[in-house]
Amino acid sequence: MLAYKKTPPELWSGRTSDQKLYLHEKVDCTSFKALKTHKNSKTIALLGYACDEGVKRNQGRIGAVNGPEVIRRSLGKFPNHLADETQLLDYGTLYCTNNDMEQAQVDLSKKIAALLSTNIFPIVIGGGHDVAYGHFKGLRKYLGAKKIGIINFDAHFDLRLNTAGNTSGTPFYQIAKECQKEGSVFNYMCLGIRKDANDKNLFETADSLNVKYLETTHFNMHYLEHVQLILMQFIEDVDYVYTTIDLDGFSSAYAPGVSAPSPMGFSPDIVLESLRVIIDSKKLISLDIAEMNPTYDIDGRTAKLAASLVHYVMHAI
């Protein structure tokens, strides 16, 4: 399999119109060979990260490698409310070959930096949550010493030690260690943490790294004002915000098609309200969706949720 592949236009389909009423009629499938600077229009780029090697190493359910394709298929059927001058580009998919997740992350970091350098807003669709390490590295490559805040919607800290190797459970620990080496602050907030999904060592690691987090018992609409407040406080202290959404943080009632499902997760409404706060700050620089596993999806439920999240963000930024 090629390490990078342009998206075939026929992957995008849905109802047809003569007014580009649907996203499959709006999107333009292109490649990095055609990358150019966009100065005067809002341009959104979708980029696939087809890798579940990290999930496999983390003893999770494999299948997320096929996540980018099903998210695209679902998203193509959604209505298009983007302005005529807004461009929606599909820059294809990066693949993990020969189980070399680390190379896939390096490739992703280069692509993220390239998209940002041409004034494009990247939305990465995965793929395991190891996507976060490559994504952050691309942001650092582009932003230099600017303060990057990471907001992760997730049931898990993904702060496992990588002494035995990198997995989908280690990306934020890897980022934390690199921040320490370069003398920068590790600005990380995780919303939706569950005690039944993280052992006590992970909580201790989070505390030692000064990670901000809300457990799922307080990440719901009953505590909306509190959630909004801590988000605004976190965002105020950084220059840019990178947002990552792990679909396994949602209750399996909404997202059965993930690597680590649970009925005890959060619901879409609090995530959408949180995203609104992030977007309104004007500091959001990029987004990714992780752990879409179509092997275990039911009636395309998880794919539709992922597509709805992407649809919301691309119309709100």
Is the torsion defined by CA of 45, 46, 50, 56 positive or negative? positive
Q: State the Cα–Cα distance between residues 96 and 227, nearest whole angstrom.
A: 36
Helices 268-280 and 301-316: crossing angle in degrees, nearest 10, is 20
Task: List, as residue ranges, the binding site for Mn(2+).
Answer: 129, 154, 156, 158, 246, 248
Contact indicator for 50, 68 with CB cutoff of 8 Å: yes
Task: List, as residue ranges, the binding site.
Answer: 129, 154, 156, 158, 246, 248
Closest CA relative to residue 101, chosen from 166, 156, 164:
166
Q: State the Cα–Cα distance between residues 38 and 298, nearest whole angstrom.
A: 39
- In three state form, how does the secondary structure of 206-225 look? HHHCCCEEEEHHHCCHHHHH
Pair of tokens at residue 233 = 């406080």
- For every residue of 15-56, DSSP letters joined together read ---SS--BHHHH-EE--GGG-----SS-EEEEEEEE--HHHH
Contact indicator for 240, 143 with CB cutoff of 8 Å: yes
